[in-house]
Amino acid sequence: MGVAGLKLASWFLCTVMVDAFKLLDVGPPRTGTQTMHEVMKILGLKPLHTGYEAESVRPALCGYLFGNGSLDDALAVFGGYDAAMDEPVMLMYEEIMAAFPEAKFLLTISDAERWFENYVELSRELRATGTISSKAFFTVCLETAHKCNPGAAILPISVQKTRTLA
């Protein structure tokens, strides 16, 4: 396929995706994204929760955000979905909203202590099932938090609490 064909295919894909994509939850994980996923399904939307489909969608998204991946590859992840939530989509909300100008966004939030305790509980659950160790889990969480907001106050607090969990 030539350059003109690629441009036409890209335009067609983006046009179809803009028509279909309606809602982006820009809240971080553990702030009600699973509940919003279920609510959106009840409302008849086809939502993408990246935590449920991590292996198939996160490589393109994280490749764009933290590597040398393309924005087109990352946006292609949203084809066929009406809505999206969970990490790392909240880190690229500006790009997503620019690509889908008719879409609306929703911000789910939680207070910092409740959010942290929620992550502690998730870590315990993952450790109990042998899915991941607490240290590895919190390392990933802290790296993500640092990339989101370098120097944020939660980072030193989380590191201190993490040491008490290990």
Using DSSP's 3-state secondary structure scheme, residue 105 falls into strand
Tell me what pLDDT residue 139 has: 60
Model pTM score: 0.66
Residue 103 in this model has a pLDDT that exceeds 70: yes
More confident residue, 6 or 147: 147
79-102: per-residue pLDDT in tens?
999 999 988 898 999 999 999 999
109-132: per-residue pLDDT in tens?
888 888 888 878 877 887 787 766
- Edge-to-edge strand list for the sheet holding 83-85: 47-49, 83-85, 23-25, 104-106
81 touches 87 (CB < 8 A)? no
Using DSSP's 3-state secondary structure scheme, residue 150 falls into coil
162 touches 142 (CB < 8 A)? yes
> To the nearest whole number, what is the mean pLDDT of the chain?
74
44-71: per-residue pLDDT in tens?
999 999 888 878 888 899 889 888 889 9
Who's near 122: CB < 8 A, 6+ residues apart?
30, 137
126 touches 106 (CB < 8 A)? no
CATH T-level fold of 3-106: Rossmann fold (3.40.50)
| Residue pointed to by tokens 């994509």 | 21
d(CA 164, CA 120) in angstroms, rounded, equals: 11
More confident residue, 140 or 42: 42
pLDDT class for 15, splitting at 50, 70, 90?
A: very low
Over residues 133-138, mean pLDDT: 55
Q: For the chain, give the number of residues.
A: 166
Least confidently predicted of 22-26, 91-95, 144-148: 144-148
pLDDT class for 141, splitting at 50, 70, 90?
A: low
- Per-domain residue ranges of the chain: 3-106, 112-165
